[in-house]
Amino acid sequence: MSRLQTTDGLTEEQHELVKLVREFVEEQILPVATELEHKDEYPTDIVEGMKEMGIFGLMIPEEYGGLGESLLTYALVVEEIARGWMSVSGIINTHFIVAYLILQHGTDEQKQRYLPRMATGEVRGAFSMSEPGLGSDVAAIRTKAVKDGEDWTINGQKMWLTNGGSANLVAVLVRTDLGESDSPYKNMTTFLVEKESGFGETAQGVTVPGKIDKMGYKGVDTTELIFDGHRTTDAQILGGVPGQGFYQMMDGVEVGRVNVAARACGLSRRAFELGIAYSQQRETFGKKIAEHQGILFRLADMATKVEASHQMMVMAARLKDAGRRNDLEAGMAKYLASENCADVVEQSFRIHGGYGYSKEYEIERLYREAPMLLIGEGTAEIQKMIIGRRLLEDYKAR
């Protein structure tokens, strides 16, 4: 085990679980990741292995059939999985957020209905806020649910759903005009939409057109979601009360930012491992390139950034587990880890020289995957706004 894989203060159970996942990554993910990624092929066998290990129910309480682990444990597991293949960590990320939303905000009936089947992976989750042309401006959401007798009718188009095709339960944020409000965010509601896995019309009035072709982050399906007269009921409103959707989703995104930070930590650690290994194999001017001062400085910079990101991510997870507000730390962790990841991957790419540009080398895949982490769960600019506003709260002028 390298120094960059250790975390002090873990219980024996946490250490054993992380070790088990690390072995799974070494044996089941790393040997096939690049081949599957180049084919843009969904990792069915890997997913089945994660189901057997209970990873889909990692944070779901034992009373619902899950393992009842902490956010920190989950983040460390995600870090290991992302080290193997970042797309696989994406498959469980959105599932985890939906399970968290139901656990924290769902009705008792919703918890009983979904959580046991989510723990086994029978029900797989995706969540959706973004829309075409929307970006980070959540207040501009146009997809709308209108009360129609005892039911609701949803119309609109959602965008950038990770697991949009493979999921059969989607938490969707839509506009519900509930009357005059001093905030546009109070007219938003989260609906739990059930559908079949796959593409085409997956439920009445719900269509998943197909996979979006991406530069990286392949294997996992990223899709649109189109609503055309989809009818649903009050029972499918998260928590049973309309108008709370924005605040529910922001709670989910907050823990999701810790998750993205963990994914960035795993990806950057793998890039460092590849870079330091190659630097001790490749020779120029009569010696290993690791012995050249310029490469040595790169390695030192990379390792420092990997470790700093990891520690920031751990702190944000521990705060949430302690029941404390962590939006500042989660924003910092996501911002630091994703930016550092992009830099560490590029440094490793440079160390590989011309071979880094070849699809035969793993670093080429990582180089295309890292940019997604700069965008997911909020761009650097969004994180800076969150961080800055929280700092103004904590350091008010006197």
pLDDT in tens, 67-120: 999 999 999 999 999 999 999 999 999 999 999 999 999 999 999 999 999 999
Question: Residue 163's closest CA among 189, 202, 191?
Answer: 202
Phi-psi category of residue 323: left, alpha or beta, with phi > 0 → left and psi -120 to 50 → alpha: left
* The predicted structure's pLDDT at residue 1: 45
Beta bridge partners of 201: 207
Convert 234-246 into a string of H (helix), E (strand) and C (coil): HHHEHHHCCCCHH
* Active-site pick, 37, 377, 381, 393: 377
CA distance 58 to 252: 16
Q: Say if residue 3's pLDDT is above 80.
A: no
Q: Say if residue 6's pLDDT is above 70.
A: no
* The predicted structure's pLDDT at residue 42: 94
Indicate the pTM of the whole model.
Answer: 0.92
* The predicted structure's pLDDT at residue 180: 66
* The predicted structure's pLDDT at residue 248: 94
Is 377 considered catalytic here?
Answer: yes
* The predicted structure's pLDDT at residue 97: 94
CA distance 328 to 317: 12
* The predicted structure's pLDDT at residue 183: 73
Query: Average model confidence (pLDDT) for the chain?
Result: 92
CA distance 254 to 311: 17
Average pLDDT over residues 173-202: 87
* The predicted structure's pLDDT at residue 193: 97
* The predicted structure's pLDDT at residue 179: 67
* The predicted structure's pLDDT at residue 381: 87
Question: What residues contact 273, with CB distance under 8 A and at least 6 apart?
Answer: 2
CA distances from 188 to 95, 174, 194, 372, 376 (A): 21, 6, 19, 27, 21
pLDDT digits (tens, 9 = 90+) for 49-66: 999 999 999 999 999 999
pLDDT digits (tens, 9 = 90+) for 209-226: 999 999 999 999 999 999
Task: Count other C-beta atoms under 10 Å from residue 187's C-beta.
Answer: 21
Alpha-helical segments (H) within the chain: 12-24, 30-39, 44-53, 71-84, 86-105, 108-120, 245-279, 293-321, 327-352, 362-375, 380-394
Q: Say if residue 167's pLDDT is above 50.
A: yes
pLDDT digits (tens, 9 = 90+) for 340-360: 999 999 999 999 999 999 999
Q: Say if residue 239's pLDDT is above 90.
A: yes
Average pLDDT over residues 299-307: 97
Q: Say if residue 7's pLDDT is above 60.
A: no
CA distance 366 to 272: 11
